[in-house]
Structure 1
Amino acid sequence: MTEGPIRPRTELIDHAPPVRLGTVDAPLRFSGPREPGGRHLIVDGVPAFELSFPCGTCAMLFRRLDAAARALAEAALHDHLDEHVPAIDDPSLRDLVSTVLPAGTYLPLLLSVEPVLVAPGGDLDYFSHEQVVHRGIDPNLGAPEDPATEYYRGSTRTTGAHETLFEFLVPMLPPSRNDRARVDAYETAFRAGGAATVLAVSVLDRTQPSDSVDAHTGLVHVVLDGHHKLEAAARLGVAVTVLAFVSVEASLADEATVTGLPGLLAR
């Protein structure tokens, strides 16, 4: 795992206006704040991740619940993303993505991200460091929040006088379950100048403690396809292309903030 200071590692390659995508019978869905048990990302009917509670002042969170969660892209979509960096407005790509996403409105982003692999409790773990400085430790927990998974960090940037935007890439499959040979193959391809794209569904969650003027916003990309590519890029310390569909309805940030993301990321 790479250790060291977190520097901006994300560039906005392209974006498109919000678009309606997805199907009502997709394998993935977000549970609403009024559903029992809080807010979750659900895969095949089973909660896979617990997400930030929608109170506005509660801590930012993504916590793995189901270690058996799976990569969601079918072979045709995986092959499409493996060939090249896609055009963000490619109708055939959007048709393929719609088989995975729940019906809703999404902001499409095409990003170049230099990911850093992070272990819970490690030197680069947001929950053990920046979140503790921001809001302290929850007295009910007596410890920092635990994401219960390794994850990747992208850029961290100041977006206002009291606003900081953190970027996370959360693999549906833990990196420990990646096939070593496939990771090695992507490393070889990246060294030769090859391009491949990671697919993610994303939420933009904003939290501000009631006793603070400072707010943290998390751009949380849940990786649906490209787990081996992502680990290979992190191991090499190079950028990988991420095609992210940010859910307007499932984000805690308001619609104007979600649709304004390209402006923040282009700074």
Structure 2
Amino acid sequence: MLLEVGDSRVLGDAAPRLRFVEDKSAVQGVDEARIEARRVGRRVLAVDDKPAFELSYWCGTCQFLFERLEGATATFSPDDADGLASGISGIDHAVISRFGTLLPEGGYRPLLLEVTPRLVFPSAPGDYFAEDQVATWGPESFWGLPVYPRTPYYRTFETRVDDGAHFYEFVVPMVPPSWNEPDRVAAYTAALGSGVTPTAVAVSILDVCNPAEEHGVDVYAHWALTHFLLDGHHKTQAGAEAGRPIQLLSLLAVDPGLSTPEQVARVPALRAAEEQTRLRPRS
């Protein structure tokens, strides 16, 4: 459910802890000018200048991706975030300002959502990469296996964009749920049972991946909205375990995703649409 849409605004810090960057460290023997021209480095979300997640490749025709890397070891709850435990009544500009200092300078669109998270494990039932993605791109050509994100993650919503595209939403924890403190998860589970709806906070990007060739049985563009959790790891796990909704304050970045500003501008309307599961044609 879409609860509220905020006005686009400029957020960020000159020295942010999180950045969406091109990682060139794995590129060997390639002229720097060629790297800049061809974007041969990995596209990553970096935390404290260490690659934390590898993201979808630049071409826009390859498979959608978030793959946890060695730099994904920290969460970002500020000391004064206790007010989020009981939920917020609307888009809170003070909360946005506090979390905005973690992010790179740029344009962001705040969205306040209500989501019921569903925890998914790679290659287990419900895994987007083993099911929806394989149906379009097939398994990875080298490994002969589905893409492996190296992290459990949460699925929250999907809907139709048009006849040739479908919208998927993911909530990705910066650390796996197994790192969460069981007592805190239990406390949030109890609060959810008493009617409290706590708020998690995320920085989000939209990747639009459109296959160039027909490898699978169901070929269409995948619009993937990925929320990387800044605060709310315990709340999100509690929501998944209890099967109850939580709030998610998304700071949707306009520029870092594999999408145009016009596509990003469509996210609020898509997120307000009725949920629809894609009906896959029979192979």
Please report how far the alpha carbon of residue 106 of structure 1 lies from its aligned counterpart in structure 2 after TM superposition: 0.7
Distance in 2, matches of 1:47 and 1:65, equals 6
1:162 match: 164
Please report how far the alpha carbon of residue 251 of structure 1 lies from its aligned counterpart in structure 2 after TM superposition: 0.9
Q: Note the residue ranges of structure 2 that are not aligned, 5 or more in a row.
A: 24-35, 274-283
Distance in 2, matches of 1:250 and 1:68, equals 19
Higher deviation after alignment, 218-227 or 135-144: 135-144
Please report how far the alpha carbon of residue 36 of structure 1 lies from its aligned counterpart in structure 2 after TM superposition: 6.5
Please report how far the alpha carbon of residue 24 of structure 1 lies from its aligned counterpart in structure 2 after TM superposition: 1.4
1:255 maps to which of 256, 261, 265: 261
Q: TM-score under structure 2 normalisation?
A: 0.86
- What is the identity percentage for the equivalent residue pairs of Structure 1 and Structure 2? 39
Give yes or no for the alignment of 1:65 onto 2:65. no
Please report how far the alpha carbon of residue 253 of structure 1 lies from its aligned counterpart in structure 2 after TM superposition: 1.1
1:20 match: 10
2:47 maps to which of 43, 55, 58: 43
1:117-128 residue pairs with structure 2 within 5 A? 117-128=119-130
1:70-85 residue pairs with structure 2 within 5 A? 70-76=74-80, 78-85=81-88
Q: Deviations over 1:126-157 (max 9, x none)?
A: 11111000111121232110000000001121
One-letter amino acid of the structure 1 residue matched with residue 114 of structure 2:
S
Residues 123 and 91 (structure 1 numbering): CA distance in 2 closer, same or farther, change over 3 Å?
A: closer
2:90 maps to which of 79, 87, 92: 87
Q: Note the residue ranges of structure 1 that are not aligned, 5 or more in a row.
A: 1-10
Q: Deviations over 1:66-116 (max 9, x none)?
A: 26521112111x22322422531x332222122211111111110000110
Please tell me the root mean square deviation across aligned C-alpha atoms, in Å.
Answer: 1.5
Distance in 1, matches of 2:72 and 2:168, equals 27
Q: Deviations over 1:140-182 (max 9, x none)?
A: 2321100000000011211101110011100001000000000
Corresponding residue SS for 2:42: coil
Tell me if structure 1 keeps the 8 A contact 2:53–2:72: no
Tell me if structure 1 keeps the 8 A contact 2:46–2:71: no
Tell me if structure 1 keeps the 8 A contact 2:86–2:196: no
Q: TM-score under structure 1 normalisation?
A: 0.91
Please report how far the alpha carbon of residue 64 of structure 1 lies from its aligned counterpart in structure 2 after TM superposition: 0.3
One-letter amino acid of the structure 1 residue matched with residue 19 of structure 2:
R
Corresponding residue SS for 2:197: coil
Corresponding residue SS for 1:31: strand
Tell me if structure 2 keeps the 8 A contact 1:32–1:250: no
Distance in 2, matches of 1:87 and 1:239, equals 16
One-letter amino acid of the structure 1 residue matched with residue 107 of structure 2:
T
Corresponding residue SS for 1:146: coil
Q: Deviations over 1:18-69 (max 9, x none)?
A: 1100101111111048577311000011100000011010110000002652
Tell me if structure 1 keeps the 8 A contact 2:155–2:171: yes
2:141 maps to which of 115, 139, 164: 139
Corresponding residue SS for 2:264: helix
Distance in 2, matches of 1:14 and 1:209, equals 33
Please report how far the alpha carbon of residue 195 of structure 1 lies from its aligned counterpart in structure 2 after TM superposition: 2.1
One-letter amino acid of the structure 1 residue matched with residue 236 of structure 2:
L
Tell me if structure 1 keeps the 8 A contact 2:51–2:71: no
Corresponding residue SS for 1:222: strand
Structure showing greater Rg? 2
One-letter amino acid of the structure 2 residue matched with residue 48 of structure 1:
A
